[in-house]
Amino acid sequence: MKHPAALALALLVWHGLAAPAAAQTRDPFPCSLVTRLEVEAVQGDEVTDAKPSEPSREPLAVSQCFYSVKTFSKSVSLEVTRRPAGGKESPAAHWKQMFARAFDRSRAKGEEEEEEKAAAAKPGGEKEREKEAAAKPRAIAGVGDEAYWVATPMGGGLYVLKGDAYFRLSVGGADPEPVKIEKLKKLARQVLRRL
């Protein structure tokens, strides 16, 4: 072979390009799943920092990225939950436990209405019923295998299942809930492309 150095260089370049892609499919770095520019495009404000972390949530593998935005209340958080290497616990099974009520198709509509009436009849029950309704997962179409919006006093989060992994995107800020959901759906589609 006339150019062994060129072949060696080509193999090094190929290996250098192939290795990160393989690593991303196994254990994606959370801040690589959504870029700063994508967050800026959705939030309309500058991202000042993207900080990864790995909270301990045994027996699942969890990684996070917090995108600090110049207007801090517009910051975005991404949390990815996967099966750890050699782990037996299934993120999809955990997902089903988290959203059991949403999956429970056997509850009669009348039964749910009776529970709501009983809660409203209690002193302060109307406020409690409003809190419970806000916290109930709401199915969201058009992203992942399944997706749910869960409202919180601080903003809310979009939970998305893909295969045997799921992630949560959350955002604060003054936007109305439908606007937040649309923004998070846009970011979720980017995550799904790279997860």
pLDDT tier at 6 (50, 70, 90 boundaries)?
very low
Q: Determine what percent of the chain is predicted with pLDDT higher than 90.
A: 52
Q: How far apart are CA 100 and CA 111, in angstroms?
A: 16
Prior bond to 59 cis, omega within 30?
yes
pLDDT tens digits for range 146-187: 999 999 887 889 999 999 999 999 998 889 999 999 999 999
pLDDT of res. 137: 92
Question: Nearest CA to 175 among 99, 76, 62?
Answer: 76
pLDDT of res. 153: 80
Q: Determine what percent of the chain is predicted with pLDDT higher than 70.
A: 68
Residue 37 has which token pair? 């520019």
Same domain flag for 83 and 159: yes
The domain of 155 spans 28-99+137-194
pLDDT of res. 13: 32
Same domain flag for 113 and 149: no
pLDDT tier at 143 (50, 70, 90 boundaries)?
very high
pLDDT tens digits for range 64-107: 999 999 999 999 999 999 998 888 889 999 999 988 866 564 44
Same domain flag for 66 and 89: yes
Same domain flag for 34 and 74: yes
For residue 51, the surrounding DSSP H or E stretch is strand 47-53
Q: How far apart are CA 171 and CA 72, in angstroms?
A: 10
The overall pTM is greater than 0.85: no
Same domain flag for 127 and 60: no
User: Residue 72 gets which letter from DSSP?
Assistant: G
Judged on CB neighbours under 10 Å (0-12, 13-18, 19+), 155 is buried
Q: How far apart are CA 68 and CA 71, in angstroms?
A: 8
Same domain flag for 60 and 121: no
The distance in angstroms from the start CA to the end CA of the chain is 40
